[in-house]
Amino acid sequence: MQQITIAIILLIFLLEVTLSALNYRNRLKPIPENVSDVYDKEEYRKWLDYTMESHRLSMIARVIDTSVLIAFLLSGFFPYIANIASSVTSDLKLQTLAFFGIYMTVSYIIGIGFRVYQTFSIEERYGFNKSTVRTFILDQIKSLTLAIVIGGPLGYLLLSMYLGMGNEFILYSWLLFMALSLIINLLYTRVFIRLFNKLTPLPDGELKEKIEALARKTGYGIKGISVMDASKRSSRLNAFFSGFGRFKQIVLFDTLIGKLSADETVAVLAHEIGHAKHKDVLKNFILSALQTAVFLALLTFFLSSGDFSMAFGFSDVHLGFAIILFGILMEPLGIILGVPLSAISRKAEYKADRFSAESCGKEPMTKALKVLAKENFSNLTPHPLVVMMTYSHPPISDRIAAITTVERKDIPE
């Protein structure tokens, strides 16, 4: 079991490095004609430099993460922190949470340096980062607090369910995860976003009028339209819908409003409405529910078998380590499942683009995609294998090529 685990870690590492290297090498391929105007020569050189630095940092981080994980597995680190956790409390559930707490703290310390360098060196030099040191630190504190406040009680509840329910654990834990997913979707904008960002109502004017007209035209009711102060952290552009039913809201990044015209912004929102009209949120929820059921069934098998833990120095099954090992050994399955799921997602993006082009015209969406690509430093020449295995959205050139075939269909008021 030990050899199999190490082999899987190394195979995943080699696959990720290979995909990254293929994408990196493809950066010098000729840019497709329909997106040749996204970057001028200076901007494209800047993109190449940014890609080179980001690639180098990601490779260094991946090598260190993989090396540290293998060292932890072979050195007896996990039994060591399990002993520390068991000395803190005699409660098995609290021991498991303490074990996770120690491991996650060590992992966080190892990774924080890379995040700091990415944010305040690479992102800063290429004009993306707008965070101050104070904002960055507060974000880290808030994220860690949420992980403890929400993750701690949830972990304790799940462990209690596993120890007390037997075979019924899979069903009831699955229902719990589905309920939490719904709650998070409903409260995402109302609660979680507001912990990190300020939301203000979109002021009256041309943009608001056009968005409201689009919502009426498409029959998509909206509870509110908010502007998020994304510019205090990054210059990247985005917009999204959140919630269900009467909780539906539109959130626009202030950076998006500053870079796109009113018509282009409306086209982006029409794309998002297209997802709603095609019930993509519901489809994704169903796919997520099926995945969760499969992984919970496999997790139960790992938790009940002591062979996995004993292969790495434990005297019997250790719930915390079994969960960590489960995450490692399930990575290949996640990659395999990711290929068809990514394909489904890309198909949904094409359909949403078509909806936008039909309702708002081809030109606004095409222009918006080019601005988004430029401002977010999108890769215009991704490697086809990387696209197939990891891209949830089609490459920009493919999306624009598909939009050119669309005929506008004015939707009646």
Residue 242 CA, distance from chain mean position: 15
Burial class (CB in 10 A: 0-12, 13-18, 19+), 405: exposed
The count of C-alpha atoms lying within 13 angstroms of the C-alpha of 104, restricted to the half-sphere facing its C-beta, is: 15
pLDDT-flagged residues of the chain (< 70) = 222-223, 243-248, 407-413
Here the tokens at position 54 are 């980001």
* pLDDT value of residue 412: 39
Cβ burial 159-170 (10 Å sphere, 16+ → b, else e): bebbeeeeeebb
* pLDDT value of residue 252: 85
Report the predicted TM-score, pTM, of the whole model to 2 decimal places.
Answer: 0.83
Q: Which residue has the tokens 């499969």?
A: 294
Name 160's bridge partners.
Answer: none
* pLDDT value of residue 114: 92
Length of the chain: 413
Using CA atoms, how far residue 276 sits from 60, 219, 291, 298, 346, in Å, is 40, 11, 22, 32, 15
Kindly list the domain boundaries of the chain, sorted by start residue. Answer: 2-195+278-403, 199-275
Here the tokens at position 69 are 């994980």
Do residues 361 and 280 touch, judged by C-beta distance below 8 A? no
Residue 234 dihedral angles phi and psi, to the nearest 5°: -155, 160
Do residues 353 and 274 touch, judged by C-beta distance below 8 A? yes
Residue 239 dihedral angles phi and psi, to the nearest 5°: -160, 155
Query: What architecture (CATH level 2) is domain 199-275?
Result: 2-Layer Sandwich (3.30)
Do residues 105 and 216 touch, judged by C-beta distance below 8 A? no
* pLDDT value of residue 245: 61
pLDDT, tens digit, for every residue of 86-106? 998 889 999 999 999 999 999
How far from each other are the two terminal CA atoms of the chain, in whole angstroms?
A: 63
Average pLDDT for the chain: 87
Do residues 114 and 131 touch, judged by C-beta distance below 8 A? no
The count of C-alpha atoms lying within 13 angstroms of the C-alpha of 385, restricted to the half-sphere facing its C-beta, is: 12
Using CA atoms, how far residue 80 sits from 65, 89, 207, 275, 306, in Å, is 19, 15, 59, 49, 17
* pLDDT value of residue 243: 63
Considering only CA atoms, which of 376, 190, 192, 195 is closest in space to residue 268?
Answer: 376
Question: In what side-by-side order are the strands of the sheet with 249-253?
Answer: 199-201, 224-228, 249-253, 239-242
Q: How many whole angstroms separate alpha carbon 156 and alpha carbon 163?
A: 11
Pairing of strands 249-253, 239-242: antiparallel
* pLDDT value of residue 408: 60
Percent of the chain clearing pLDDT 70 (strictly above): 96
Name residue 197's amino acid. N
Do residues 246 and 194 touch, judged by C-beta distance below 8 A? no
